[in-house]
Structure 1
Amino acid sequence: MNDALTNPNKLLPLLITDALAETKAFYVDRLGWTAVYDMDGYLQVRSADAEGPELGFMAPGEPPPLRQAFAGKGLIVSVPVADADAHHEALKAKGLAPLTEPSRKPWGWQSFFIADPNGLLLDFFHVAAAPAMAPAV
């Protein structure tokens, strides 16, 4: 067994928020995500399995760049799911209110949006078709 600490090899968005308790309730209790770290002033959650996307949330504080909470505008985090339509129905069955119905995007995603307690938009998607144009290489 390797006990050495390693840096994760994935992007981890970190939002500053005054609403850690509400954020935990939304992600863990309502969406069914896992709390990877849950400590005073910091919450990290993971979707689905051990390789699923993760988000971090931190209470405002020091140093100066960390003083202001996320303003709830201008950020979308795309979260892959096996079936966006089924996921949409499952969230509605849990009493959540997605902002949009699932729809096909020009880049081939079937997706819908829901907002977390901080105003962060989550775009739950699955790849449903080839994009309208090939990606640049």
Structure 2
Amino acid sequence: MLPIGISPTIVVEDLAPARTFYTTHLDGRLIFDCGWYIGLMFGENGPTLHFMQPHSPDHKLYQGGLTYNLKLADAAKVEAAHERILKAGLPMVMPLEDHPWGDRGFCTLDPYGVALYVYVEIEPSEDFKKFYL
């Protein structure tokens, strides 16, 4: 199997927080909304993220432990995103800083506790260069 795309779907009780959070804070655009399932796209033809309410006993509600890595085009965009998140009063799980593994980033949480790690690649430290394949 060779997928040509991967788009995660998070199962939650209430979709309203996702609609508001991702359109307000991450410039997501609703591309599908049937009431119990929504799809959001980031950018013109960028990545998508989906949320749905459970429709069978097999659809368990999201229980946490997920991190999305949101790579931005440049450091200025990361700085602007950081400022926007701070002004909105959203939780800051990790402050904006340079990391020796090769990125500059910060981490916040969405309304469901999904961690959103926003970053741009930078030169890794000598200690971390050996880990890149």
Q: CA RMSD in A?
A: 1.9
How far residue 96 of structure 1 moved from its aligned partner, in angstroms, is: 3.1
Structure 1 residues 101-121: Cα deviation after superposition (integer angstroms, max 9, x where no partner)? 112223201111111111111
85-94 or 74-83, which moves further after superposition? 85-94
1:71 to 58, 63, 78: 63
Q: List alignment gaps of at least 5 residues for structure 1.
A: 1-7
How far residue 33 of structure 1 moved from its aligned partner, in angstroms, is: 1.4
1:75 partner letter: L
**2:106–2:118 CA contact under 8 A, matched in 1:** yes
Q: Output the CA distance in 2 between the equivalents of 1:36 and 1:24.
A: 11
1:24 to 19, 22, 32: 19
More strand by share: 2
| TM-score (norm: length of structure 2) | 0.81
| TM-score (norm: length of structure 1) | 0.79
How far residue 55 of structure 1 moved from its aligned partner, in angstroms, is: 1.1
Q: Which residue of 2 aligns with 1:11?
A: 6
How far residue 43 of structure 1 moved from its aligned partner, in angstroms, is: 1.1
Inter-CA distance 36–17: structure 2 relative to 1 (3 Å threshold): same
Q: List alignment gaps of at least 5 residues for structure 2.
A: none
Q: Output the CA distance in 1 between the equivalents of 2:27 and 2:86.
A: 13
Inter-CA distance 107–53: structure 2 relative to 1 (3 Å threshold): farther
